[in-house]
Amino acid sequence: MHQREIPAVYGTVQTGRPVLAAPELVGQCRTLLDALWLSMHPRTTGRSGLSHTHYAECMGEPKDTFSRRLNGRTHIPHDWLTRLALATGNLLPLQFLAAQVGMELQPAPTERESLLARLAELDAEQKTGVISGLSAR
C-alpha cells in the first residue's frame, strides 16, 4: 500500500488527547506489532519526519529498548501503550486490541462537552416544563 492510500486519523492532536485512528487503519493491522508501527506512520500521526528516536525520547525510553519492543523482542508493559498513544497522538494500538475482542473505543466527552450537554438538557426541560422528570403544574 502506498502512503497516499492510508487514511488519516479522525480529529486532531491539538486537543492534547490522543485521537481515534480511522477504522480502515485498524483493519489493516494483523498483529499488535503492525498497529504499533502504523501508529507512528507520518500519515497516521499527521506529522512527518519524526523518527523512532523521537518517540523513544518522548516516552523517556532508550532507543534500543524502544526498538526491541517494536520488533517483538521484549515485553511491552501495560502503561507503555498509553505513553505511545500520547507520543503519537493516536489510539491505533489500543483500537486494534479492542477490535480483537469485538469492541470499539469511544472517546469520553470532555468537561466542556459534558457541560454543554447538561445545558442543552436544562434548556429542553425549561421549554417543555418538565424538570427532572416532574411535570410543571
Same domain assignment for residues 46 and 75:
yes
Burial state string for 34-57 with b = 16 or more CB within 10 A and e = fewer than 16: ebbbbbbbebbbeeeeeeeeebbe
How many independent structural domains does the chain possess?
A: 2
0.85 surpassed by pTM = no
**The pLDDT of residue 32 is above 60:** yes
Same domain assignment for residues 96 and 115:
no
**CA dist., res. 129 & res. 49, Å (int):** 57
**The pLDDT of residue 44 is above 90:** no
Same domain assignment for residues 68 and 117:
no
Instruction: At 120, list the grid cell.
Output: 442543552
Instruction: At 71, list the grid cell.
Output: 520488533
**The pLDDT of residue 120 is above 60:** yes
- Residue range of the domain that includes 136: 107-137
**The pLDDT of residue 4 is above 70:** no
Q: 26: which residues sit within 8 A by CB, 6+ positions away?
A: 35, 92, 95, 96, 99
Same domain assignment for residues 18 and 59:
yes
The pLDDT of 52-68, averaged and rounded, is: 93
Check which CATH number belongs to the domain holding 30 and give it.
1.10.260
Same domain assignment for residues 94 and 115:
no
Output the pLDDT for position 10. 39
